Chain A
């Protein structure tokens, strides 16, 4: 999922200063899963903003609404009927959600309430960790299901570096050495020979090409109702 964290209330308040009627818009997908921008968090943020506004004697109306996915047009169009009532949208979606809304409503300011962090997994309650950088050319097979581009601090494809000690990365003892994990995993299922070859330089054009990356699938285009 895409993970995010809420910005500080002060930063959010600074950004909404020019607006009187604001819609705090939650997103029911990834950011709900990581407890940053779901229905509950949207209600909490809206009420915190109302309270702060009241204490400062400001005349600001904050409404709230949560849609299933801010990043999918089919869900965003739910706002068509209400958008005129607001000066600005305070989006609790990820960066994709914020931009999808901005794209749909060119006249309406959209303010991000979250800092989008990474693609990752939920390790435990309240604990998320990055596990994929979306390089566009998955190499997890070769590395036993551990991604060195995401999890090695130096993104080595031919690691480990000289800073691996007791399974930890030199950068921070809380960081596990991705290469120790790779070697352990490949050893477990007898595939350590995958590391005998030299992996060539990564083709970063698949991640960082010209402008935003796109996926266009004609087979899917026909099926959209």
Chain B
């Protein structure tokens, strides 16, 4: 059974982190990165060719992590696979002992190193959640054919409280939960005020009782990174005061400031009603996750 599910169901504030597979076939690379996360998090998300750059498959990296004693969260994007391949991979993942799946649209292929690729988008992320739920709960695939063994999957979806149109963001969250999402991981939070408005709206609609919502955080390494995220990454909201804070410290203290902002954000999330955990996306900086979790008072992780 999913460790993440167990932690959430006993009411503990969950911690997940992200681990990006390598641009190569080296299994050691995955385990080396993951070593920093050992006993620091409840589950490890493995990205699926993020930013549309070809990497080791998420499913393969999840298996390596599973064998290394982690509870992997298989991220799956609908960009690269049609409904036949997606459903087949869900069955395969379950057979291999993967117990968490995060269903995503995926970054558009134009951003990556294969801009000439055909974007599949046969299903959208919400339909994909619905399909996985029907496979698990009804034991059927799209079209109604029965499975001889349903997959055992804790179903996740993403939410971005910072994209537009804001009023529609909670409607979309509600559609994802209606489709069958058991847990939600959000886009990186820097604008806590806007996040709080969103979570309050979700709570008013009863959504925080229907799915476990984990707030996303990404520690900043530099003011340049903050500005890049603000200006170049669509759907990211990095307020000016965060950039100013990063700029206000000497260069050799910037990473520490980034960690501090991240820890403070987690402290705030822990207090927010409706937030059931945190998802730490330390981009190419996995080694800092343990420190963040510790400083946020989230160690030791529960053994369930």
Asked if B168 is at the interface of the complex by the 8 Å CB criterion, the answer is: yes
- Determine which of A157, A159, A164 lies in contact with B235 in the assembled complex, contact meaning CB atoms within 8 Å: A164
**A side interface size, CB within 8 A:** 31
Interface string of A156-195 (1 = CB under 8 A from B): 1111111111111111100001001001000000000001
The 5 closest A-B pairs by CB, nearest first: A162-B160, A170-B234, A158-B126, A163-B234, A162-B235
Asked if B122 lies at the interface with its beta carbon under 8 angstroms from chain A, I say yes
CB atoms of B171 and A195 under 8 A apart: yes
B121 touches A201 (CB 8 A): no
**Which residues of A pack against B, CB within 8 Å?**
153-172, 177, 180, 183, 195-196, 198-202, 204
Most A CB contacts (10 A, CB to CB) among B130, B178, B235 go to: B235
B130 contact set on A, CB distance < 8 A: 198, 200
Contact partner of A164 among B106, B111, B165, B171, CB < 8 A? B165
A171 touches B165 (CB 8 A): no
A198 to B168, CA, bound (A): 14
Identify the closest chain B residue to A149 (Cβ). B121
Q: Tell me if A163 and B163 are in contact (CB < 8 A).
A: yes
The one of A154, A171, A198, A201 that contacts B175, using a Cβ cutoff of 8 Å: A198
Number of interchain pairs (Cβ within 8 Å) = 94
Contact B235 A154 (CB under 8 A): no
B165 with A156: CB separation less than 8 A: no
Q: How far is the CA of A155 from the CA of B119 in the complex (A)?
A: 9
The number of residues on chain B lying at the interface, defined by a beta carbon within 8 Å of a beta carbon of chain A, is 34
Tell me how far the C-beta of A186 lies from the nearest C-beta in chain B, rounded to whole angstroms.
Answer: 10
Q: Is the CB of A198 within 8 A of B235?
A: no
Distance of B274 from chain A, by nearest CB (Å) = 19
Q: Are A159 and B124 closer than 8 Å at their CB atoms?
A: yes
Q: Are B126 and A165 in contact (CB under 8 A)?
A: no
Question: Which B residue's beta carbon lies closest to that of A161?
Answer: B105
Known contacts A165-B235, A198-B179, A158 near B163 by CB under 8 Å: no
Given known contacts A163-B234, A164-B235, A169-B234, what 11 new A-B pairs fall within 8 Å (CB)?
A154-B105, A155-B124, A156-B105, A158-B172, A158-B175, A162-B163, A168-B234, A170-B235, A195-B171, A196-B171, A199-B127
Most chain A CB within 10 A, of B122, B126, B164, is at B164
Picked from A158, A164, A204, the residue with its CB within 8 Å of the CB of B124 is: A158
A154 & B164 in contact (Cβ 8 Å cutoff):
no
